[in-house]
Amino acid sequence: MKILVVGNGGREHAIAWALLQSPQVTQVLCVPGNGGTATMDRCQNLSFRSDDFGGIARFAEVNGVALIVIGPEFPLSIGIVDYLNNRNIPVFGPTRAGAQIESSKTWAKALMEDANIPTPKSATFTDLTTARAYIEQQGAPIVVKADGLAGGKGVIVAETLAEALTAVELLFAQNYGRLLIEEYVTGQEVSVIALTDGKTVRALLPAQDHKRIGDGDTGANTGGMGAYAPAPLATPALMLRVQNEVLDPTLAALKRKGIDYRGVLYAGLMISPSGEPKVLEFNCRFGDPETQAILPLLATPLVDLLLACTEQRLAALPPIEWKPAVATCVTIAAQGYPGNYERGKVISGIDMATNEGTLVFHAGTQLKQNRVVTDGGRVLSVTCIAPDFASSIDRVYQGVKAINFEGMYYRQDIAQRALS
């Protein structure tokens, strides 16, 4: 069976790797992929753009691709699944209507409020004057969120009134027509990534990621500097509440709207100090880098799960099985990220880092004249699975230290929270 994966990040490399763990998957094609998917056995890159729906569909039809998996939110938000559904090509991911759960934070908030899903209270604004008045009336801290895909740059957690007022001005000036202004809540964050076929929704292992660039969660926000799973914070009791209070009612609310949602339903949760889960946001795709920590722990073949979702038979599948282990994933970035950085640095040591239990997933890399060179801000990540977090952390950093390129940067404290 041939499977095509759309995307070029670490997430897509991990998805391709996990799919290839099943002998029935003979080949994975990545559009456009990266240096890691270019060099992996039975994997090949194709140079279509992710918005070239026609090109991707034709390739899939001519080459007998059994399933297309959409990695990133952007092609989902512009309707790649609708297009492929119309051509009867099996695809994993929600339609454009379903993807609004991520692409519009105000749409998602309205859905949550309708379905009584626990989420911080908020209000929606389309003009500066009323937004400013609301902020002044509510006071700080307060959270300002752009409505629309923002690549992780659309949310400002404002500590002061002045910061919040500047944030709304800035976001309206950036042509976001609509903003969500949200109550600030405290607690610990956890990502619950679930799979759904539109009728049943099943959570994968909970994960935590590290968004800030610096150790101790300091400095600028990034796409994610590391992750670990399963997050000890998300106890079985908490996961049961998330299933009953978040995942099931969200799927039911989508269904009431006439949306047949199949794919990933990812809940970004804040767990209050008293243990109450609240939804900060939904995503309509796998998390990056959480996926690089979660999928190596999966014992059930990923291909079986994804096909069950697209063919609407998830309920008939036995419970998802996991290896009795934990995973730590450390992202290695280019010097300067998340600001300006250079590309084209030769990477060495990837083979040395890779061994039984330690995997290297590429993100911003490219194969150039048979050498793997840097080609993005988040360059690659190392994941180590081990029986416990102490050894997983120890060994993941041994892997990280085996890798070398000019200006490489990584956080030293990934998964430390899992130890305490």
Q: Does residue 375 touch ligand ADP according to CB under 6 A?
A: no
Report the alpha-carbon distance of residue 301 to residue 268 in Å, rounded.
25
Among 78, 140, 157, 298, binds ligand ADP (CB under 6 A): 157
Chosen residue from 144, 155, 181, 242 binding ligand ADP by CB under 6 A:
155
Binding status of residue 182 toward ligand ADP by CB under 6 A: yes
Of the pair 33, 268, the CB lying nearest Mg ion is at 268
By the 8 A CB rule, do 105 and 120 touch?
no
In the complex, minimum distance from the CB of residue 31 to Mg ion, in angstroms, rounded to a whole number: 25
Query: Is position 143 an interface residue for ligand ADP (rule: CB under 6 A)?
Result: yes
One symbol per residue from 77 to 116: x for binding ligand ADP (CB under 6 A), - otherwise; what is it? ----------------------------------------
Residue 211: CB minimum distance to Mg ion, A: 8
The entry of Mg ion, ligand ADP, none that residue 184 binds, CB within 5 to 8 Å by partner kind: ligand ADP
Q: Are strands 226-229 and 208-209 parallel, antiparallel or unpaired?
A: antiparallel
Residues 6+ apart with CB under 8 A from 250: 101, 111, 112, 115, 117, 201, 265, 267, 282
Range list of H helices, 244-289: 248-256
Q: Quote the Cα angle for 15-195-418, to 5°.
A: 75
CB 3 within 8 A of CB 28: yes
**Residues 13, 34 contacting (CB under 8 angstroms):** yes
User: Closest CB to ligand ADP belongs to which residue?
Assistant: 281
Count the neighbouring beta carbons within 10 Å of the beta carbon of residue 136: 12
Range in contact with ligand ADP (rule: CB under 6 A) among 45-53, 164-172, 180-188, 241-249 = 180-188
**Nearest residue (CB) to Mg ion, 198 versus 287:** 287
Cβ distance to ligand ADP smaller for residue 140 or 352: 140
The continuous run of DSSP H or E covering 182 comes out as: strand 179-183
* Closest distance to ligand ADP from the beta carbon of 281 (Å): 4
Least distance from C-beta 153 to ligand ADP, angstroms? Answer: 7
Contact set with Mg ion (CB under 5 A): 268
Considering the complex, what minimum distance in angstroms separates the CB of residue 266 from Mg ion?
A: 9
**Which residues does residue 328 pair with via DSSP β-bridges, in sequence order?**
228, 384
Closest CB to ligand ADP among residues 268, 364? 268
Considering the rule CB under 6 A, would residue 120 count as an interface residue with ligand ADP? yes
Q: How far apart are the C-alpha atoms of 161 and 42, rounded to whole Å?
A: 54
Closest CA relative to residue 293, chosen from 85, 92, 11, 93: 11
Residue 189 touching ligand ADP (CB under 6 A): yes
Please tell me the distance from the alpha carbon of residue 179 to that of residue 135, in angstroms, as a whole number. Answer: 12
Q: What does the binding site for ligand ADP look like in residue numbers (CB under 6 A)?
A: 120, 143, 145, 152, 154-155, 157, 182-185, 189, 211, 268, 280-281
